[in-house]
Amino acid sequence: MRVGVPKEIKVHEYRVGLTPEAVREYAAAGHEVLVETGAGAGISAPDSAYEAAGASIAANASEVFARAELVVKVKEPQPSEWVQLRKGQILFTYLHLAPDPEQTEGLLKSGVTAVAYETVTDKAGGLPLLAPMSEVAGRLAIEAAGRCLQRHAGGRGVLIGGVPGVPPARIAIIGGGVVGTHAARMAAGLGADVVILDRSLPRLRQLDEHFSGRARTRFSTLHAIEEEILAADVVIGAVLIPGAVAPRLVSRAQLSRMKRGAVLVDVAIDQGGCFETSRPTTHADPTFEVDGVIHYCVANMPGAVPLTSSYALNNATLPFGLALAAGGLDAIRNDPHLAAGLNIHRGRITNAQVAESLRQSYEPAQTALAA
């Protein structure tokens, strides 16, 4: 199969769909790989590195989209990209369709088969292609919070770890999944006063054992969330419902009661955000203030560390991408985990959560593939 890798064009997105090492794996499996010139610049991988791995270099994105049978990206296609997609082509990337009706409509009109990293599953019931970027985003969330807390950035002027004789920052993490766990690891490692809120008692028990007292756990209720955010210097939104719009857990009315200069980091912004006042921002302009509370809502947080992120992502996506390249639609038909990743196929929405969020009709993946 001919595999295409266009350069990412979202603002301050420096990751790349395939690293040179991944290209070598595709080439060794007998696939032709076409990489847009400069696609690897963000990870310091020149065109020559891709050529040495067995790829051909395309002069522009149009050539990649026109020739590729499988398009491998990182972020959701932008308007100038989805108009170049076509029926019979497979798109393999992050999509986050639930809060994005415009992109969804563009993909439906294109006829493309779109497999979303974030809804591919594994035998353990996890989300293996979302996990590596959740790990990166969780860790980055604490770095971002530390910068936003600084007084010149509008924050409270609190050092996350404090110093002897002065208390550390209080950090409330809503959601004890991959993002929340890695945010807590970073925050606890810096000496912060950390609490993790989650609605799963088994998960809270795991976290309690894992952190051995370095982070507190609390069952997540409306009362508990309110109590913790009002006391917090930093709130990390780390709640995920696979494929669906994130629940809104902090209201506008609550902001006026929070500490002035407190920081909200909404890692769930790709899925619409879990704070009522959240809106997507970019690395170029990452924050805004509402009622004295600093909001950090960058929609592609891992793009800030593209070298780490691209390799972490490729480690996870490689076996699935190779399966798609080898089997095409049959790979999706025969693998329930890849089928779970199928969000759109030839003008039909094939993910129930996406369809429900957008109030559109839904067709099961296997039914759509059989048509």
Active site residue ranges: 96, 270
The one-letter amino acid code at 88 reads G
The residues, any chain, with a CB within 8 Å of residue 7's CB and separated by 6 or more, are 16, 36, 37, 38, 39, 41, 61
Cα dihedral angle (86, 90, 27, 67), rounded to 10 degrees? 0
- CA angle in degrees (0–180, nearest 5) for 173-177-182: 65
- Please give the distance of CA 314 from its chain centroid, rounded to a whole number: 14
Alpha-carbon distance 95 to 263, whole Å?
27
Give DSSP secondary structure letters for 120-171: ---TTS--TTTHHHHHHHHHHHHHHHHHHHSGGGTS----TT-BTTB---EE
Are 1 and 29 contacting, i.e. CB atoms less than 8 angstroms apart? no
List Cα–Cα distances, 199 to 174, 177, 203, 314, in angstroms.
Answer: 10, 11, 8, 31
SS3 of residue 21 by DSSP:
helix
Its sign, for the CA torsion 283, 186, 181, 239, is: negative
**Could you tell me the two tokens for 362?**
């839904």
Nearest to 174 by CA among 191, 188, 194: 194
Alpha-carbon distance 39 to 45, whole Å?
8
Q: Are strands 234-237 and 263-266 parallel, antiparallel or unpaired?
A: parallel
The residues, any chain, with a CB within 8 Å of residue 163's CB and separated by 6 or more, are none
Alpha-carbon distance 17 to 154, whole Å?
36
Residue bearing tokens 């909404």: 266
